Amino acid sequence: MKKFTCVNDIGPLDRALELAKEVKTNPFADSALGKDKTLLMIFFNSSLRTRLSTQKAAMNLGMNVIVLDINQGAWKLETERGVIMDGDKPEHILEAIPVMGSYCDIIGVRAFAGLQNKTEDYNEIVINQFIEYSGRPVFSMEAATRHPLQSFADLITIEEYKTKKRPKVVLTWAPHPKALPQAVANSFAEWMNRSDYEFVITHPQGYELSADFVGNAKVEYDNLKAFEGADFIYAKNWSSFIDATYGQILNIDRSWMVDSAKMQLTNNAKFMHCLPVRRNMIVSDDVIEGAGSIVVPQAANRVVSAQVVIREMLKAL
């Protein structure tokens, strides 16, 4: 595998899930594979889970790991070509990328959507430049439009917890005080659409996601109706995708919070969220602390998804 930015890069999902099982059952089986190989993790944005789980995955494979926080100690990087660099950014990404590539064997990049310019975000300007100019295999640790390591871990988790062959999985928008990217929701939809589940997306009017990601999912504007009979509730906030209000918060309708009254409409559903989550905005305390909450095992599976991807990349070096 030379790049991992979306579901298509992993190949058939049945096989990916088999590899995940292998890695989870025996995490140290390939501890010699990464000997003398270096993973460079580059963060343009904050992280708790991605940073720790990806580093742990690389360590399980015997790799050395370097982590760089671009906004804490590195030079600020200009990402647009043709700019007269008389502002606050002393270095261009076109020099920085091949330099960083020269210090490692595999690169992981986190670069969120800026939410200022839809075209720039949806063209994945930053991660695509890493793919083009680093000379190394590159994987996404959440880029502008997708978070594939999260979605892969989400899929692994659903497979572990489902009690029927074809569960009803509901992605529900929930309120949040800050504008967030669509990446987690887009990516989750992309992976769910590739799986044989009953997949429903529910959100208020105005929060429609790109049709490219919605695919064949059922969109249900009635939040309570969407919850009926659900086996999994996956909560996430995202900002507006539509042109006129791109990246903006349209409303903070607190009635969209996931609470126990809504969970009672479900088929004893498991509650999922990628974390970090704002309690009593996205989800009530009792739901996230309740027996149906699987957010911690879901986060734990981030090691597994990362290890599968890095292992595939090491094998192809």
Task: Name the residues that contact ligand CP, by CB under 6 A.
Answer: 47-50, 142, 150, 274-276
- In the complex, the smallest distance separating the C-beta of residue 45 from ligand AN0, rounded to whole angstroms, is 7
Q: Which is nearer to ligand AN0, 168 or 246 (CB)?
A: 246
Contact between residue 251 and residue 179 where contact means Cβ atoms under 8 Å apart: no
Q: Which is nearer to ligand AN0, 96 or 295 (CB)?
A: 295
Question: Counting contacts by CB under 6 A, is residue 174 touching ligand AN0?
Answer: no
Q: Which of 276, 296, 315, 316 binds ligand AN0 (CB under 6 A)?
A: 276
124 binds, among ligand CP, ligand AN0, none (CB under 5 to 8 A by kind): none
Three-class HEC string of 268-302: CCEEECCCCCCECCCECHHHHHCCCECHHHHHHHH
- In the complex, the smallest distance separating the C-beta of residue 95 from ligand CP, rounded to whole angstroms, is 27
Dihedral (CA of 142, 170, 249, 262) sign: negative
Question: Counting contacts by CB under 6 A, is residue 189 touching ligand AN0?
Answer: no
Phi, psi of 244 (to 5 degrees): -65, -25
d(CA 303, CA 51): 10
Phi, psi of 279 (to 5 degrees): -65, 145
Question: Counting contacts by CB under 6 A, is residue 153 touching ligand AN0?
Answer: no
Residue corresponding to tokens 């429903």: 200
180 binds, among ligand AN0, ligand CP, none (CB under 5 to 8 A by kind): ligand AN0
Residues within the interface to ligand AN0 (CB under 6 A): 112, 142, 147, 180-181, 183-184, 274, 276
